[in-house]
Amino acid sequence: MEDIKKRKIFHWKELNLNTEYSISRQTKVVNALGMHARPAAKIAEMTMTAKGNIWLSDGASTIDASSIIDILTLCAVTGTRISIHIEDTEDTPLADEIKAFFDMGFGEDINE
């Protein structure tokens, strides 16, 4: 049987982020289909240029935004509130870009 590597879903407190230095943006899923593979892939692609880590949180779980699978594990349906957390201030424009992507319904014309 093949070993399966499981990804860890982090609780915000486990991350030990220094919230004094991390930057957050708040948004919500407005796409009627919720989070699915295409926007998850786009978000993971956006994070490739980040200087530091970028995290997404639904309040219960915090995941690595560079992982498509991790993003999908949030099971973010329409209306789910999402926090975007960055660790490096140079990534602030990237956090704004990810927030805008959520706010515009992932570029799909299927909003709530």
pLDDT tens, position by position, 57-90: 999 999 999 999 999 999 999 999 999 999 899 9
How many residues in total does the chain contain? 112
Q: Structural domains in the chain?
A: 20-107 (3.30.1340.10)
CB 97 within 8 Å of CB 46: yes
pLDDT digits (tens, 9 = 90+) for 13-66: 455 555 555 799 999 999 999 999 999 999 999 999 999 999 999 999 999 999
Query: Residue 16 has what pLDDT?
Result: 55
Tell me what the mean pLDDT of segment 77-104 comes to.
96
Query: Residue 12 has what pLDDT?
Result: 46
Torsional class of 53: left (φ above 0), alpha (ψ -120 to 50), beta (otherwise)? beta
109 confidence band (pLDDT: 50, 70, 90): confident
Question: With a threshold of 0.85, does the pTM exceed it?
Answer: no
Exposure string (b/e) for 70-79, b if CB count within 10 Å is 16 or more? Answer: bbbebebebe
Q: Any idea what the Cα angle at residue 5 is, between residues 40 and 3, rounded to 5°?
A: 140
**Could you tell me which of 84, 82, 96 has the C-alpha nearest to residue 30?**
82
Cα–Cα distances in angstroms (integers) from residue 52 to residues 59, 65, 94, in the given order? 21, 11, 11
Rg from Cα positions in the chain: 14
